Structures are given as structure tokens and as C-alpha cells.
Structure 1
Amino acid sequence: MPFYNPAVNTKLNKTLIVPIVSTANVSQLAADLLIASLSLHSLGAFDPSFFIPAVGGRDDGDEGISTPFELYGRDDVDLLVLQQRSPTLKSRKQEFVDALLNFFKESGVSSIIFLSGVDLSNRTDAQMMTPIYYIQPQNTPSFPIRDLMIPKYSSPVPQRPQNENDEPDIPFIPGGGLTRRTLASLPREWSIPTLALLQFVLEGDNRADAHMLAIAAAKVAGIGSDIGEWKQPSSWNQGLFGTPHDQTLYG
């Protein structure tokens, strides 16, 4: 089975948003907001064998089913959004990362913005001024931050490089899922401008955090003015926190 299975034939030479399953699922929630606010539709699905099995309905009565990993876009919007609804299998982490990077290269995307949460309990005093930071891998073309006041991320957790003079290219990201592995797996000859936006969050009601991350991603991608009003997907009203508790359980 091919890694990517397009549902429609369309050019993918646009900025691509890639949410990584991480702390509080804030990146998936931000992707939800971008998809709903820009009225993006599914362009294709990826091989589900890399993920814990998951399937569900689509928002607003659209035909078809939702699968673990899908690509969303629209012809008149200069942005693509991946959405991952199920974690990657532990036994296939690196295999998935390699396949994903190969897809980026072969699809012709113009730039990539990864989104990830970071465990808030690990931040330093200096990192309490703002929740959003960025990582720019050294082996990638520079990514314009478009004059946004987003500071560069440094790990709040001490690291032990192999040699005293060595500094790890990609700092440790507590609760960041496959973010660090993916960035560290970029080949030296990588030619696609690539950036990661990280947000310190705690588990809970993270809708406000997701709005903040989605707004930052839209501004970095240069499409902030295309979104007149931010919209929450209808699925948030039904299943964001699971089904309501049966009150008879409490007498």
C-alpha cells in the first residue's frame, strides 16, 4: 500500500502544517481550528498501518469516514494541513518518520511548519514570559518568522552531549512526542524551509491554547489575513471531552 493515497489530484506546492501528537493534543486542536476556519476538505489519506487503529465520522455530515492520518486543503487557500487522530505505533516510529519525510520531499511542498506541545511543568523561569517558541533546524533553509516576536526554544531539561563542546542541534522537548525525532531525522541536504512551533501547555481544557497556537501558525505561514473568523469544528461540541457522565451514578 502506498504511504499517501490522494482522493483528488491537486498540486501540493504550498506551506504544510504538521501537528505532532504531544502534550494536551494542542497541536491537533490547532489543526482542527485551521481546517474548520479555512473550510478545508480532505485531499487524501495515509497508510493507516503506522497508527493505532481509529475511525470515525466527518464533521458537518460530510460523506466518508475519518482515518488516523489525513491531508486537508483547498485550491484557493495557500495552505495544507495534516491531521493525525491516532498515535503512531511504538514499533514503527522511525519507519513512519522516514516515510513522512520522503512524502514531504516527493510531494513538492514549499515549506513545513510542525506544531507541538511541551510539558508546562518543565519550563524555566525565563520561559514564563511567553508560551510559544520556535525551533529552526540548522540544516534547513531559513524560514521567515515574518517579524513575529517568537523566541527561540531551548530545552528546560539539562542535556548531556557526547562531548563537552557538543551542543545538540535539536534540544530535548518534554512531552513533545515525535517532534525531536522528526526534526533530528532531517537529512543534511534538506532543501525545504522547515520550522517547529512549540507551546508550553498542561492537560485540561486546551481550546484557548489551541487558538493561540493556530493564530501563530497562520501568521508564520502568511495566511493570517485569510481567516476572517475563527471557527471551532462541530465535533468539539460533541466529543472533545467524551460523553457526559450519567448523573444517576452520583445519587
Structure 2
Amino acid sequence: MPLEFVSSGQDDGLGFRESTLILPAVSVGNAGQLAVDLVICALSMRHVGNLRARCFAPVVGSQPHVEPGTQPGTRSSGHLCLSTEVYACRDKHLVVLQIRSPILKGQRRQTCRDLLAWVKETGFQQVVLLSSTQAQMRLDQELSGPQERHLISEALLKKVGSWPKTAGCLAFQERPAYAGLEDGGQICLRIPGGGITRTLYQHLCAAGLPLLVLLTFCSDGDNIPDALRLASHLALWLPPLGHQDTKLPESKEQWKIPSSWKLLYGSGIPDSLF
């Protein structure tokens, strides 16, 4: 079953054409998903619908973002949280697909094919994928310095032409096909712990679509700092992508923390236990 956009109101998705799509990969530490939450809050993006998809595990929960005008600490009257949510900022031509559940076993390639078909059908101008990869698989030269990396499709490179020349914008390097065989082993694109990152990158590149992958090295644990760095890294790339008027914080101290993160590690230990 192909992906189908289901509007939460009057938005039919036709206005997404020529917009930039930002989405996360369900990857190690969930850094991409956390970074997407930061972007949604920073731009006060409006929830416009969901994607109907059978390849993601079903999930339902309470409103993850406090709606504008809702007082902190009160219950929002907004939508329910589902496995795939679509947010939009029309004046900035930005659309976000937030993915809140893992891909079902054996559905990874089909998911990439479905996402490719939806991107082409909707007419997105370009795609930005936020992801992460296992820190323990870094090469020796990657152990220090900035931990954010990027991959760029040929179609996007030809379209934009130049990229920010900062120390933090480093290309992701190919690595040995088998860990530990650095000398004389086969070199290829490996993104351990990256979920669908490599497969989606290959599918969109083969289709000639503009794609930028931003990823960070991290490990499972408290991944809020990783998400803050990844989101700040995204802010450096938006102007070259044609979003000069889209101002995102470039330092992690300036980001607005989503209200749903208050319970990211549970509700705390009840005093009644002591």
C-alpha cells in the first residue's frame, strides 16, 4: 500500500509542491527524530496531517507539542500523535515528516520505495534527511573534532553549486565493508545504526532527486545534546538550500525545548517511595 497523505483539516497536500521536505531516519539514539522535534518547535510549524502507511509500527499518543496559545502545564486540545505526522510552514516552503515508530521487520526497502514515490508524486523541491550512526564505528581520524557529517546527491550539488565552508561541514567518508579490515579491504558506504539512511540515499540518488543527508556520530543514552548539535548543523545548510529567511538557532543554548521532552526519561521518582 503506497503512502497516502491524510489531512487533519482543509490542507490537501497540493501546496507542498516546490517545498523542502525534512524527515528523520529511525536510527541510533533517535537523534534525527529529536532534532526534527526541535525544528517543529523553533518554527512553530502547524500540524497538517498524517501519512497512512503500513510499513511503520502503529502508535498513538497525546499531543507532543503544545499548540500556540496553550498555557504551559495545561492539556492541549490538539491532535493525537500517530506514527507519521506531517507539519508545514507554508510561508517558508518547509514541510516536516516526523516519524515516531520503527519500520516493521522486512519492510525497509519497501519503505524507501514508498517514500520515493510520495516525494515524486507530491513534487518536493528537495529532501533533507536527519540521521545518526554508531559512534563506536568511527574511523581514527573521526574520533576528534566535529561529529556531524553530510552526504549530498549529485542532483542537489548541481542545483545549488556551493555549500557553507565551515569546519563543521565535513563529508561522510566511505569505510571498510568489514570492521577491522582497514588495510586492503573493500571500501563502501556503510552507515551502521543508520536505519534506512543508506538505502533511502541510494534510492533518491538513483532517481536523480536532490537530497541532503545530515548525520551525527552518537551512542544510545542521553541523546539530547546530539539532537541539539544536529539541529544547529541543519541551520547552517538552510540558506544554501534557498531558505535565507528561515532563521534557526545556530547554537544549542538558543533552541526551544519541546514540552514533550519533559517526560523523555519518565516522570521522576515519586516522593511517596521514601
TM class by smaller structure:
0.7 to 0.9
Aligned partner of 1:31 in structure 2 is 36
Matched, 1:104 2:128: no
Aligned partner of 1:182 in structure 2 is 200
Which one-letter code corresponds to 1:133 in the other structure?
R
Aligned partner of 1:11 in structure 2 is 15
Equivalent residue in structure 1 for 2:235, among 177, 193, 218:
218
Moved more, 119-128 or 82-91: 119-128
Aligned partner of 1:50 in structure 2 is 55
Using the alignment, how far apart are the partners of 2:108 and 2:165 within structure 1?
35
Question: Taking every aligned residue pair, what percent have the same amino acid on both sides?
Answer: 31
Aligned partner of 1:135 in structure 2 is 151
Give structure 1 stretches of 5+ with no counterpart.
Answer: none
Q: Residue 4 of structure 1 contacts residue 44 of structure 1 at CA under 8 Å; is this kept in 2? A: no
Give structure 2 stretches of 5+ with no counterpart.
Answer: 67-75, 179-183
| Mapping of residues 109-128 of structure 1, within 5 Å | 109-127=124-142, 128=144
Aligned partner of 1:74 in structure 2 is 89
Deviations 1:66-119 (A, max 9, x none): 110111112222322111000010122211110101111111111111111111
Aligned partner of 1:206 in structure 2 is 223
Shift of 1:235: 0.6
- SS of corresponding position for 1:133: strand
Using the alignment, how far apart are the partners of 1:87 and 1:113 within structure 2?
19
- SS of corresponding position for 2:58: coil
Residue 28 and residue 198 in structure 1: after superposition, are their counterparts in 2 closer, same or farther (change >3 A)?
A: same
Q: Residue 15 of structure 1 contacts residue 221 of structure 1 at CA under 8 Å; is this kept in 2? A: no
- SS of corresponding position for 1:90: coil
Aligned partner of 2:181 in structure 1 is none
Shift of 1:244: 2.4
| Mapping of residues 148-187 of structure 1, within 5 Å | 148-149=166-167, 150-156=169-175, 158-159=176-177, 168=188, 171-186=189-204
Aligned partner of 1:230 in structure 2 is 255
Deviations 1:163-185 (A, max 9, x none): x99864xx101111110111122
Q: Residue 15 of structure 1 contacts residue 110 of structure 1 at CA under 8 Å; is this kept in 2? A: yes
Aligned length: 241
- SS of corresponding position for 1:211: helix
- SS of corresponding position for 2:54: helix
Give the TM-score taking structure 1 as reference length. Answer: 0.86
Residue 93 and residue 189 in structure 1: after superposition, are their counterparts in 2 closer, same or farther (change >3 A)?
A: closer
- SS of corresponding position for 1:76: helix
Q: Residue 48 of structure 1 contacts residue 67 of structure 1 at CA under 8 Å; is this kept in 2? A: no
Give the TM-score taking structure 2 as reference length. Answer: 0.79
Deviations 1:117-154 (A, max 9, x none): 1111111221122100111235x331543334411111
Moved more, 212-221 or 239-248: 239-248
Aligned partner of 2:264 in structure 1 is 240
Residue 106 and residue 208 in structure 1: after superposition, are their counterparts in 2 closer, same or farther (change >3 A)?
A: same
Which one-letter code corresponds to 2:268 in the other structure?
P
Q: CA RMSD in A?
A: 2.4
